[in-house]
Amino acid sequence: MEKIEKYDSKGYLNMELLRFTTAGIDDGKSTLIGRLLYDSKSIFEDQLEAIETISKRKGDEHINLALLTDGLRAEREQGITIDVAYRYFATPKRKFIIADTPGHIQYTRNMVTGASTANLAIILVDARYGVIEQTKRHAFIASLLQIPHVIVCINKMDLVHHKQKAFDKVRNDFENFSAKLDIKDIQFVPISALFGDNIVDRSTNMNWYQGPTLLHILENTHIGSDQNHIDSRFPVQYVIRPMTTDHDYRGYAGRVAGGIFRTGDEVSILPSGFTSRIKSIDTMSGPIKKAFPPMSVTLTLEDDIDVSRGDMISKVGKQPQPQQEFDVMICWLDEQPMKVGGKYFIKHTSRDARCIIKDVKYKMNINTLQKLEEKDINLNDIGRITIRTSVPLSVDNYRNNRNTGSLILIDEATNNTVGAAMIV
């Protein structure tokens, strides 16, 4: 595969951005993130003073680093994560966006939302209790969302006297279960989030562990090949027609969702099927020779073709087949149950349409991976359904392209987003 490097307008190599999510129940997720920020010196002084004050007020023996992410009042009162909390930090090697997602089953929709754009998932397991049903559910959701990299952090090793036997048991149990899933890269790290063992610095309490620390894995996980650089996809978001400068300019702005586009490439416009060649690839910093995911660019074409928002530009020979009826794995996000035969708005990349739910194939028990022959899909349920759209959509299998293989359903009456779906 061709090596792709990212440079800014001045020619300097940009720092890569890694998005990762955390999952676990009462396993120290928020403490882990707080420790990661604290030990990597990514906390402002006023933030540190605030959580020190709150920790003393609550009588905590140590600084409660979980307060950095558990921002809702209900979260602090109950000691659990409810909402998705996003945090940003950077090291000299890489930039990071953390999505701290809730682990309890009633917040499955929040976890799916936070994990949908992640390159990597951290699954926390309590070393005392090992792999439990919730651990399996989190691993299944990571597999369903096609998150390429998973780090299993066996936490609270200080409570099992830092013994290798406890770590090995969790690793073996998780490996046996994950063999049924579609996760490409799994690594295991024994940690103590409370005391910082193997988070940023190597633990002196677990000399038997010779692997990397959590931060080292986060900094060095290769994510360049996670994007699909083969199947070219460019959903048009906006048509640019300057009224004051070049009256003949017609550009099509959007974000590259797959493949590599170069000037001179022969492209097809979907759904019309008309073909042309790329005349130029424009950016805020000037024209460039090629564009690849996830760059936001403007394409101009050599021919005057009718191209609108929602159309898909793809290289000839690599275009998707527009479809009107297909199956999806859906996570239901609404308190009102899904209606078979119900009509909904659908949003796929930059294209809006209407759809009808034709059938429910099965509902998934995400704790046991059993397929249940049930037709009722309620809040936080995940199942496989068949939908038919009012117009053909240029869709891909979610396994091949997370950008063009995903969509959302919107209730026509309330305008609420009711479902997040992955095309299968």
At 380 the pLDDT is 84
C-beta separation of 39 from 199 below 8 A? yes
Q: Considering the domain boundaries, does residue 397 fall inside one?
A: yes
Mark whether 265 and 193 lie in a shared domain.
no
* Domain co-membership, 201 together with 182: yes
Residue 236 has a CB neighbour count (10 Å cut-off) of 22
Domain that holds residue 117: 17-220
Angle between the N-to-C axes of helices 133-144 and 108-115, in degrees from 0 to 180, rounded to the nearest 10:
40
**What is the predicted pLDDT for the residue at 12?**
34
Position 197 in a domain: yes
Is 199 a member of any domain?
yes
- Residues 152, 28 share a domain: yes
Residues whose CB falls within 8 Å of the CB of residue 285, separated by 6 or more in sequence, listed in order? 8, 9
Averages of pLDDT over each 10 residues, the chain, 424 residues: 43 70 74 83 76 74 67 45 71 88 66 84 93 87 92 95 96 93 93 92 94 95 87 95 77 96 96 95 94 94 93 93 94 92 96 96 86 90 95 94 94 92 94
Look up the CATH number of the domain holding residue 108. 3.40.50.300
Answer yes or no: do 96 and 121 share one domain. Answer: yes
Residue 157 covered by a domain: yes
**In terms of domains, do 263 and 158 share one?**
no
Residues 213 and 249 in one domain: no
How do strand 149-155 and strand 234-235 relate by DSSP bridges?
Answer: unpaired
Q: Is residue 296 part of a domain?
A: yes
DSSP secondary structure letter of residue 285: T
Q: Using CA atoms, how far apart are residues 321 and 74, in angstroms rounded to an integer?
A: 47
Report the alpha-carbon distance of residue 392 to residue 146 in Å, rounded: 25
Tokens coding 221: 């996980």
Contact 268, 231 (CB under 8 A): no
With tokens 């959007």, the residue in question is 254
CA distance 387 to 389: 7
Q: Considering the domain boundaries, does residue 12 fall inside one?
A: no
Closest listed residue to residue 126, CA positions, set 72, 79, 173: 173
Residue 3 within any structural domain of the chain: no
Q: Are residues 309 and 189 in the same domain?
A: no
**Number of domains composing the chain:** 3
Nearest to 204 by CA among 220, 224, 183, 190: 190
pLDDT value at residue 231: 92
Sign of CA dihedral 21, 26, 30, 32: negative
User: What whole-number distance in Å separates Cα of residue 365 and Cα of residue 115?
Assistant: 19
Single out the residue in 315, 348, 367 at which a domain terminates. Answer: 315
Look at residue 215 in the predicted model and tell me its pLDDT: 94
Quote the pLDDT of residue 422.
95
Distance CA 51, CA 44 (A): 11
Q: What is the CATH number of the domain that holds 272?
A: 2.40.30.10
Query: What would the two tokens of residue 145 be?
Result: 């969302």
pLDDT at 9: 38
Q: Which helix (H) or strand (E) holds 362?
A: strand 351-365
Which of 315, 348, 370 is the C-terminal boundary of a domain?
315
Domain end, chosen from 315, 347, 362, is at 315
Residue 364 tokens read as 């998934």
pLDDT of 99: 84
Query: Helix, strand or coil for residue 388?
Result: strand
Are 143 and 25 contained in the same domain? yes
Q: In sequence order, what are the beta bridge partners of 332?
A: 419
* DSSP code for 246: -
Same domain, 197 and 238: no
Instruction: Please indicate, yes or no, whether residues 116 and 154 belong to a single structural domain of this protein.
Output: yes
Same-domain check for residues 37 and 108: yes
Looking at the structure, do residues 39 and 188 belong to the same domain, yes or no?
yes
Residue 226 maps to a domain: no
